[in-house]
């Protein structure tokens, strides 16, 4: 009898864990909406992304993802601009790569996000300048050895 209760407890726990991990697309969309209403744009975008990944035909999730994903992408590009202004090229380049990766990830759902071409030119200039400076520093260190 005690063995049977223990087995039943394990089954109940496993079902609970499995059910918690299997949130429906509708539930995830609702969570995204609540997060967005609360101003938690990055969390909302993640919930919408999960929902759209689970059910690609969930229009509300896709609309929410398009809206919040574009805002998150805009924040990353703004952070890139800020880092360029304070002359932190390595951090700016890293942030640019995060923005590109984020855009690619969201576009796996079929969405297209706006990525300003003018910023890409700034990125290329910063990257080239940083590579030149790193190359010069490396040559100085080689000469010192």
Segment 1-59, tens digit of pLDDT: 455 565 554 555 445 444 445 689 999 999 999 999 999 999 999 999 999 999 999 99
Angstrom distance (rounded) from CA 138 to CA 47? 44
Angstrom distance (rounded) from CA 93 to CA 125? 11
pLDDT score, position 8: 55
Angstrom distance (rounded) from CA 139 to CA 65? 47
CA angle 55, 44, 91 (to 5 degrees): 115
Segment 77-132, tens digit of pLDDT: 999 999 999 999 999 999 999 999 999 999 999 999 999 888 889 899 888 877 76
Angstrom distance (rounded) from CA 110 to CA 8? 44
The model's pTM is 0.75
């Amino acid at each position: 009898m005690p063995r049977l209760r223990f087995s039943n407890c394990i089954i109940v726990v496993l079902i609970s864990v499995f059910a918690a991990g299997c949130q429906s697309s509708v539930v995830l969309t609702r969570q995204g909406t609540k997060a967005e209403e609360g101003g938690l744009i990055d969390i909302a975008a993640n919930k919408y992304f999960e929902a759209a990944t689970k059910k690609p035909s969930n229009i509300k999730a896709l609309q929410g993802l398009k809206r919040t994903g574009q805002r998150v992408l805009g924040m990353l590009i703004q952070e890139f601009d800020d880092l360029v202004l304070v002359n932190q090229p390595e951090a700016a380049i890293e942030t640019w790569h995060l923005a590109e990766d984020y855009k690619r990830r969201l576009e796996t759902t079929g969405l297209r996000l706006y990525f300003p071409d003018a910023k890409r030119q700034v990125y290329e200039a910063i990257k080239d300048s940083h590579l030149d400076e790193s190359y010069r520093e490396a040559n100085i260190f080689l000469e010192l050895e």
